[in-house]
Amino acid sequence: MARRDFDPSTTKPDGRAARTARLFNPEVEGPWRGSLPGDALGGAVTVLAYGNETPGQGPRLHVHPYDETFLVIMGRARFFVGDQVIEAGAGEAVLGPAGVPHRFENLGPGRLQTIDIHHSRQWIQTDLD
């Protein structure tokens, strides 16, 4: 499917060069695989990689001063976002709005793998439990 959402002549490059940086080391074990601040790539978002094999396990309740988008890469998760409970599986995305406490857990069976996009150049978080 071809897309033409805007006229490319209306957007000028800002002079940044393409960059690469390591998000995580695939050899390292553990749920928090790594994080990549937006500044490392000269971008506007920070990216985290998270995964675990244990149903019921996940990050603690926390909040950010910016939106966070969760991409479920593998498995199924239950997200607690404010008063909402949302179940999502591989291929789905969930939004955690700025200022709304949230957490998620592996529903199992098997591995849950997420990519968490923090809409900020830096990872800023307050844990609530």
Reading the block at residue 56, the tokens are 């019921």
Which segments in the chain show pLDDT lower than 50?
none
Contact of 79 with 88, CB cutoff 8 Å = yes
Would the pTM count as exceeding 0.85? Answer: yes
Class for the domain spanning 30-127: mainly beta
- Separation CA 80–CA 56 (nearest Å): 12
- Separation CA 12–CA 38 (nearest Å): 21
Contact of 74 with 115, CB cutoff 8 Å = no
How much is the pLDDT for 59? Answer: 96
Tens digits of per-residue pLDDT, 84-110? 999 999 999 999 999 999 999 999 999
How much is the pLDDT for 78? Answer: 98
